[in-house]
Chains A and B, each alone.
Chain A
């Protein structure tokens, strides 16, 4: 069975600090997808990134970066120089590559950026 664990329930930092959100997953599949979604106070889930398991290169997009380490089954998300607008609940998710590709979500991390 697939499982995603986000051990950090809530994180609170001051604006401009860097913050890392942890994600650990379990799967028996040899290939799979990993995702991060953002859920701002408005409630809509916003797609941030999808990573295929065979691609272990780290990715950077502006202030966001993702560190995928297959050896430790982790897919961590770092926000550099955080801003108040980054305040949201962040979900890590996992899906199979074939079939329905239904998302298995972690419990989410509530990130609060204080001015």
Chain B
């Protein structure tokens, strides 16, 4: 079946502009995660959505970052007033969550964001 997809694959933006990154999880996966991969910080968690529950935003680095998930499926990560330190690969992952168990996270190909 189809895996996690992300768009765009690459995004170059000027400092101060807003960007939106999109993630389409695997069909049927109720849990969705955003991570960031950068040279300085490695792989770090940003935000987590599960069903209709309030998202876990504990990993968002500043209030310039926000994310939403519409209809329990597609998610958009928005970065306002981008800074050069926001340059990174943004990874989306999804997983299946059952009543008494959960399963491994499957990752998309990522969006490489470059802020100039």
Q: Which of B37-64 contact A (CB under 8 A)?
A: 42-45, 48, 50, 56, 59
A residues near B48, Cβ cutoff 8 Å: 100, 102
Pair B104/A35 contact, Cβ less than 8 Å: yes
The verdict on A47 contacting B45 (CB below 8 Å), with A102-B33, A102-B59, A103-B35 known, is: no
* Minimum C-beta distance from A113 to chain B (A): 23
* Minimum C-beta distance from B4 to chain A (A): 9
A to B contact number (C-beta, < 8 Å): 49
Q: Which of B41-98 contact A (CB under 8 A)?
A: 42-45, 48, 50, 56, 59, 89, 91, 93, 95
Pair B43/A100 contact, Cβ less than 8 Å: no
A3 to B84, CA, bound (A): 27
* Minimum C-beta distance from A77 to chain B (A): 16
Pair B106/A43 contact, Cβ less than 8 Å: no
Pair A44/B89 contact, Cβ less than 8 Å: no
Number of interface residues of A (CB under 8 A): 21
Q: Which of B10-52 contact A (CB under 8 A)?
A: 31, 33, 35, 42-45, 48, 50
B residues near A103, Cβ cutoff 8 Å: 33, 35, 43, 45, 105
4 additional contacts (CB under 8 A) given A44-B107, A93-B43: A45-B91, A45-B107, A102-B33, A105-B44
Chain A residues with CB under 8 Å of chain B are: 35, 37, 42-47, 50, 91, 93, 99-108
24 A–B contact pairs at CB < 8 A? A43-B89, A44-B107, A45-B93, A46-B107, A47-B104, A47-B105, A47-B107, A50-B103, A50-B104, A93-B43, A99-B56, A100-B48, A101-B31, A101-B95, A102-B33, A102-B45, A102-B59, A103-B33, A103-B35, A103-B43, A103-B45, A105-B44, A106-B42, A107-B42
